Structure 1
Amino acid sequence: MSRLLHTSDWHIGHTLHGYPRTDDFDAVLGEIVDIARESQPDLIVHTGDLFHRRPTAPDLIRAMEALTQLAAVAPTVVVAGNHDSPLYFRFLELVTGPSVGQGLYFVDRFRTAEEGGVFTFDACGGTQRIRLAAMPFVHPNRFWPQSAITTSYADYADGMRGLQQQLLDSMREDYDPDQDVLIFAAHVYVAGATRSESERQMHESFEVPVEDLPQVSYTALGHIHRPQTVRGPAFPACYAGSPLAMDFGEMGESKSVVVVDAEPGRPGRPVPRTLLGARRLAFFEGTLDLLRSESAQYDGTFLKAVISGEEPDVQLAQKIAEIVPNAIIINPRLDFEPGANIPVDFEPGEELELPEAFRVYLGQEGVSGAAADATVHAFVELLNEVEDEVLPPVPAELQLRAALQDTGTEEA
C-alpha cells in the first residue's frame, strides 16, 4: 500500500495585523515534520502558497529547513500557488533539487510531461509506483482569446480542462493497473468548495467545475484555507488547507495535513491529522468584568476584544492586557450604545458649524463629556492647521506660470 502526505498553503512570512507569526510557523512546521517521520509516506506533496509574499531571508531559511527535513523522509514535490514567485521556485529547484542530489522538486509553472510536469516515484519498497501530475496555479490571462478584453468563466474552465488532460494522458501512458497509483496535485479553486470568511474573492469566477476533477486515487488540492473533502467526485479530492489560521475569518477551524493510503486502481483513503501548535485566535465581546471572570480561556491567544460599558479611554488595550497578560491584543475597541435624544442647541433647518456637527456625531456614537471636549478640541486644531497651511506649488503649476510669463513677454 502506497502512502502520501499532503500539506498546503503554509504562507510563510504572513503576519497577523502586523504581528509576526514566527513561533506559530515553527510550531506547526515542526508538527508536520513529526507527522511525516511517524507516518513514513512514500511521497510528500505541497500544493502551493509556500510563501505569503516575496520571501525574506528568514522566510527562505524557515521554508527550506522544513522542506529539507521532509525530503529526508520521502521525495517532496512543491507546486507553485498564486502567492509564489515562479522565479524563486526556479532558483530553489536549481540549488536544492534533484540535480544536486536532494529529494526536493519545485514546479514553478505549468509544465508538460516532457518539461517535468509528471513524476514517477517508487513506493512500497519498489513493488508499486506513484505517478504524480502537478498543476501549479494558472493565471486566467493564459486563456485570453485574442478578440476578447477579458477571460470568461467558460474560457478559463475550458482552458484548464485542456491542460489537465495533457497531464493525465501522459500520466496514464504505460499505466500498469496492478502497480501504479495515480495522484493529481493542483492549486486551483474548485466550484462548491467552502472558503474561509477572510479569504479573498478575486479568482472566484475562475473556477474548475467539480465534475472536471480526474478519476485518480487521490486529488491533492491547494488554494482554499479551510481543510475539506470536495463533494461530488467518485474519487477523493481534498484541500489540506492552511496549517494555521491566517486571520480571524478562520477562527475555530481545525487545521490539518492529510495522510492518504492508496492501492493501484482504487480510491485512496484520506485521513486528516490535526495540527495544534499555532497560537489560537479568539474573539471576546462584553464588559471588562466579564473578561476578568473568563480570562483563563483567552490566555495565550491572539485576542480581538470589543468592550462595552466603558467610557472612551486610550488605556483600553493596557487594561485588557492586565486582565489577560499572556494574550496578544489585536485592535481592541469600545462598543458604544448609539446616543439617543442628544441635546443640541440649534434651530430646525439651521446649518451647524463643522465643530458642532462633529460634536453631535460623537454624541450619537456614545462619546460625551470630557472625552468629547478633548476630541473636538483636537479636531479644531487640525482644521486650523489645514486652513493656515500654504501649500507649495506643484511642478505643473510652476510650468504653467512660466509659460504664461513667456507669452506676456513675447506680446510686449
Structure 2
Amino acid sequence: MPIPIQRPIMVFFLISILIFFKTNLYSEDFSGLLKDDFNKQQTLLIRNEVRKKLGDRSNSPKIKELTSKILPWAVMENLSPAEFANALVRMVGSEDAGIPFESNEDLLPLISGFKSNEEFLYVSKFFRESEEAELPVEFRDKLVFESQKKTWDGFTLVLAGRLLILSRREKLDTDVYLKNLTAKIPPKTSQLPDDALNSLIMVFSENFSSQETVNRLPSLQKDLLELRKLAGKKLTKQLQVSARNVDAGLLSLGQLEIRERPKLNLSAEDLGITNTSEGKDWRYLSIGSLETVVSDWIGTRYQYGGSSKSGTDCSGFTRSVLTDERLGVPGKLLPRSASDQARIGDSINRSDLKAGDLVFFSASPNQSKITHVGLSMGKSKFSHASSSRGVIVQSLDEKWWTDRYTGARRIFSKVK
C-alpha cells in the first residue's frame, strides 16, 4: 500500500488512542483516589455527598485534582467522610470565586466549623488578601483567633484584615492596632446600615495619614458595601469582581511595609545565658523536664491561633512548651508560626533526632511549605497539637508522618 494512504491511517489510529486514554482518565470516578485512606463504605458516602452538591462536575479533572490536594490534609486532620466531602465542596466553591487552593489550605483544620459556604468564602477571601499583602502569619492567625473568640461573621474578618494591612502600610504599631481593632469592632458588621459601616471604617482609619492610603479608602469602602449580604452565586461573582477592582491597589500598599523576620543569630545575652554550667544554661535539656511539661498539655483541645491550655494550635503548643519556665527557652528565640520556627536553630537529619528537636511536616502540594510542627520526645515519638484530638504523643514511624516529614531543627546543645 502506498505511503500516502498509510500515513492518514496511522494518524487516525494515534488520535483514537489519545482520545480513548483521555476519556478513560477523566471518566474514572474521583473516588478511586480515596481507596487507600477510606474504606468502601466511607468512599461511597463521600462520592454520594459530592455528587449531590456538585452534580456532573463531581468527575471533572478539577475535582480529581482538588481531591488529591485535600487528601493529605484529611488524613492529618482525621476528617470523617462527611467532613471530607464538605471540605472538597467548599474548596471547589473558593476556586470558583477565584481563590486558589494554596491560598486557603491552612483553613482545612477549621473546615467543619463554618456555619455556611458563604462564611467559608469570606474567610478564604481574608486569607487570600493576607497572602497577597504578605501579612505575617502571626498576625493573620491572631486575627482569626480573635474572630473565633468573639464570633465575628466572615465579612467582619475581611474588613478587619484590610484595615490591619493598611495600618501596617501606615507603620502603626501592629500589636496595638490589632488589640484596639478586635476590642471595638462589632462582630456582625455585615448587618450594619451603609452609613454606619462607612463611619466605622473612618473611625479605624482616622490615624492613616499618607495620601495614597487615604485615596484608596473610598474604593475599599465601595467594594465592602458590594460584598456584604450576598450568598450563593452572587457572592462568588462579586468576589471575582472584588479581586479585579480592589486587591491590586490594596495589596500594593502592603508591599512597602517593613516586615519582621525572626532574628536568627542571637547573642548569649539575647538568649538569656548568664552562666554556662548545665544547671543554669537553658541549652542543656533535661528529658525528664520535657516529659513533665508536655504531660501537662496532653488532652488540651485544638484552637486555631491559640497558645494556652484552654486551646492551642501546633506552633502555639511548641512555643509554649519550650518557653515554659521549667525548660526556659527565651521567648526571643522562638517565633510564633511553624514556618518561622523552621528557620531557627540547626538542621538535623532524621536519624540524629533527639528529644527537644522541633520536627516539621507538610500536608501541602507545595512540600516546601511547613503546615505542621511538633516536638521530638526521643525514641521515634513526638508530641503535637492535632486538630482532631488535641495535644497527643504519636510515633514518627506512622506512615503519614513518615511520608510528610520535611525536616527538624535543634535548639538545645545537650540532652540528658
Short-chain TM bin: under 0.3
Between Structure 1 and Structure 2, the one with more helix by share is 2
What TM-score results when the alignment is normalised by the length of structure 2?
0.22
What TM-score results when the alignment is normalised by the length of structure 1?
0.22
